[in-house]
Structure 1
Amino acid sequence: MTEVLLKELSNEDIDWMLAAGKQVELEPGTVLIQQDQPLEALHILLDGALLVTLAQADKNPLGRAFAALEGGTLSGREIARLSNGEMVGEIPFVETYLPATTVSATSKSLVLTIPRTRLLSKLEQDLSFAAHLYRASAVLLANRLEQMINQLGNSTVVLSQPQLREALIVFAELHDRDLDWLITAGKVEQFPANYVLIRSGRPIEALYILLDGSVTLNAAETEYNPLSQAFSNLEDSENQVFEKEFGRLWRGDILGETPFIEVQPSAVTVKTLEDSRVLTIPRWRLSAKLLHDVGFASRFYRVLAILLADKQQAIAQRLGYGRVTYSSGQSLEESYSNELSTNSLGQVALAGARFEWMLKRIGIE
């Protein structure tokens, strides 16, 4: 992933990071990030290799029972392997929760370590730097998320829990003027039930904000050729790929954000579950806005980085055999509820007010 940082960061960005950080050598087996422990720095892997694992709970019989189903071991489960150019420890500047995985060196490695306090200050003071780093973080997180899913065999069970906080994040992070621009640049469209908003394998041509109604997220149950599928006759049952629902989104959620950090066609088909209204912002208009408004770009890419970090966290929790939730006697829903009550109540109120303001500006009661 070396090319991601070299592509997204400017020479000025790289010079500041070199001046603010220090290079640290790691011996094989050195733990760089410990699961459930606070993070105090951002690390960039300059040379070597890192292993991302998920520790299992050995204190709880239920955790051991789940572990036994996969071989009976309680050593950490491998989630991903990271190579040169990867960043780890990005959670402190995009979210407030503790890391869900452990990161350790698998060979002699060299990392650039940048203290959290200096980084947060730079992100607040330099919007250009913030836009570049948040975008780079989103790209790396998206690739890491894809690697995690591939490591799990594209299991739709892992992704079946809807992201409860997605709408809250978007409207809490963006400014009023950002939302005003989205309203002006987009148009409100009404779609009937079972309408395909985004088809897997096809280019995504717009960003969608779901104003009311709901949509389903569907993915192929088996591997398929996306190019062949994209150009096949959609009415030809022999060429159709059968997809399975793995999640749903409701009012306030956003769709079609991946083209702004990735060039690959979407692997997910999005269909309306009922009559729904969406605010559609053309991809070309949003791309131009991101290019010319650095403040908007920094906030937009931060939102994408947070969403991807949340999805990664959710997958890690669902893979933990209850290490994060069940081992403490909580359900997944209770875990989300507790997180909201302690960290996000202010954001929830702000997001709700902004979403209602947006609806009134559009003319939807």
Structure 2
Amino acid sequence: MAEDLLKELSNEDIDWMLAVGSQAEIAPGKVLIQQNQPLDALHILLDGALTVSLNQSDNNPLGRAFAVLEGGTLPGREIARLSSGEMVGEIPFIETYLPATTVSAKTKSLVLTIPKFQLIQKLQQDLSFAAHLYRASAVLLANRLEQMMNQLGNSTVVLSQSQLREALIVFAELQDADIDWLIAAGRVEQFAAGSILIRGGRPIEALHILLDGAVALNAATGEINPLTRAFSNLEDSQNQVLEKEFARLWRGDIVGETPFIEVQPPAVTVRTIRNSRVLSIPKWRLSAKLLHDVGFASRFYRVLGILLADKQQAIAQRLGYGRLTYSSGQSLDQSYANELNLNSLSQVALAGARFDWMLKRIGIE
């Protein structure tokens, strides 16, 4: 993790963080971030180890039953462990969530703390710094998400995501010029139901934006050798890898973003579940754009960070206190509706207008 952070930040970025931040040693057990409480700083773990846990009331029988089925205990279920180079408290800088987890010191640790107000100002004023920090956040969130997915194992929880939520994220954050460029650089492709957009274990060659239709995300069950998976995961193979669906995505979603934040091939297979059309942007074109257009890069990596934070929150809600909402009679769809009500209605309108405008530009009514 330390290498990931150092690779993303410049000397100027590090110097600024040292100038405005403060270093402190924290004792084992000290809480840095409290679940469901506002955050006022970004913390970078310089040395030591942190634990990420979910605190949940143990007075709900159904909640206890879910925890037993998924191998957890109540309260304070650990879902990830963080090493030096990790950042925590970054979600307020990329999204409006309250933290869904508690982060505390596992061992004696050294932490650099950067005040929220100063960091927000820097992100707004320095696009180069913003691009670096948002990309670093996306890389670390992707790694953390993988840890949380491993914790799920054979969980009874099935993740799903709101169509409006995803469209809001992508099209409210990008500018009109960004969407113009994506249209010009990409091509519209049609896929029949059951087609594979991305094959687990294989390199990704394009970023895909779903224009209509839907896809399922599938993860291999059990321990699979990556090379064996890449060469055996064929439709007509007798040794086809067994997979389990864990999420579905809809129009306005993006898939294939992992090459821009990590080097290893994805562990997830993306398959259409009905006839779908996508806008596919070749990896080489997008990589060149990110390298030469710092403004576009800052917005793109921010979008990726928000998408990853959203997925992390979804997992945490289903593993932790979010399930109490479900078990007390409120559906998961209602939970998402409440979340959407907290967002600016103008953002929703802007996102919808941009998406419709993009479809018309492409020639889809």
For residues 187 and 237 of structure 1, do their structure 2 counterparts lie closer, same or farther at Cα, with a shift above 3 Å needed? closer
SS class of match (2:343):
helix
Conservation of the 8 A alpha-carbon contact between 1:163 and 1:311: no
- State the distance in 2 between where 1:115 and 1:156 align: 37
> Which position in structure 1 is the counterpart of 2:304?
304
- State the distance in 1 between where 2:5 and 2:170 align: 25
Relative to the length of structure 1, the TM-score reads 0.94
- State the distance in 1 between where 2:218 and 2:104 align: 34
- State the distance in 1 between where 2:30 and 2:17 align: 23
1:75 deviation in Å? Answer: 2.8
**Residues 283-304 of structure 1: per-residue CA shift (max 9 Å, x gap):** 0000000000000000000000
- Superposition pairs for residues 195-234 of structure 1, below 5 Å? 195-232=195-232, 234=234
Name structure 1 gaps, 5 residues minimum.
Answer: none
1:101 deviation in Å? Answer: 0.6
- State the distance in 2 between where 1:33 and 1:77 align: 15
- State the distance in 1 between where 2:20 and 2:321 align: 39
- State the distance in 1 between where 2:226 and 2:8 align: 27
**Residues 87-142 of structure 1: per-residue CA shift (max 9 Å, x gap):** 00001101111101111112111100001010000000000000000000000000
Q: Structure 1 residue 25 and structure 2 residue 15: aligned? A: no
For residues 157 and 273 of structure 1, do their structure 2 counterparts lie closer, same or farther at Cα, with a shift above 3 Å needed? same
- State the distance in 1 between where 2:197 and 2:72 align: 43
For residues 13 and 334 of structure 1, do their structure 2 counterparts lie closer, same or farther at Cα, with a shift above 3 Å needed? same
> Which position in structure 1 is the counterpart of 2:149?
149
SS class of match (1:168):
helix
**Residues 292-333 of structure 1: per-residue CA shift (max 9 Å, x gap):** 000000000000000111111111110016456237653221
- State the distance in 2 between where 1:279 and 1:142 align: 23
> Which position in structure 2 is the counterpart of 1:113?
113
> Which position in structure 2 is the counterpart of 1:192?
192
Conservation of the 8 A alpha-carbon contact between 1:56 and 1:323: no
1:232 deviation in Å? Answer: 3.5
Using the TM superposition, name which of 37-46 and 244-253 deviates more: 244-253
- State the distance in 2 between where 1:170 and 1:72 align: 34
> Which position in structure 1 is the counterpart of 2:263?
263
> Which position in structure 1 is the counterpart of 2:354?
354
> Which position in structure 1 is the counterpart of 2:88?
88
The AA in structure 2 aligned to 1:310 is D
SS class of match (1:269):
strand
> Which position in structure 2 is the counterpart of 1:160?
159
> Which position in structure 1 is the counterpart of 2:276?
276
SS class of match (1:343):
coil
SS class of match (2:252):
coil
SS class of match (1:123):
helix
Conservation of the 8 A alpha-carbon contact between 1:186 and 1:280: yes
The AA in structure 2 aligned to 1:138 is A
The AA in structure 2 aligned to 1:160 is L
For residues 66 and 199 of structure 1, do their structure 2 counterparts lie closer, same or farther at Cα, with a shift above 3 Å needed? closer
Conservation of the 8 A alpha-carbon contact between 2:49 and 2:82: yes
- State the distance in 1 between where 2:72 and 2:168 align: 39
Conservation of the 8 A alpha-carbon contact between 2:316 and 2:322: no
> Which position in structure 2 is the counterpart of 1:364?
364
> Which position in structure 1 is the counterpart of 2:39?
39
**Residues 123-172 of structure 1: per-residue CA shift (max 9 Å, x gap):** 0000000000000000000001111111232x464453235422220001
- State the distance in 2 between where 1:47 and 1:206 align: 37
Name structure 2 gaps, 5 residues minimum.
Answer: none
Percent identical residues: 79
The AA in structure 1 aligned to 2:161 is P
The AA in structure 1 aligned to 2:92 is P
Conservation of the 8 A alpha-carbon contact between 2:48 and 2:84: yes
Relative to the length of structure 2, the TM-score reads 0.94
The AA in structure 2 aligned to 1:57 is S
- Superposition pairs for residues 33-112 of structure 1, below 5 Å? 33-67=33-67, 73-112=73-112
> Which position in structure 1 is the counterpart of 2:135?
135
* Aligned length, in residue pairs: 364
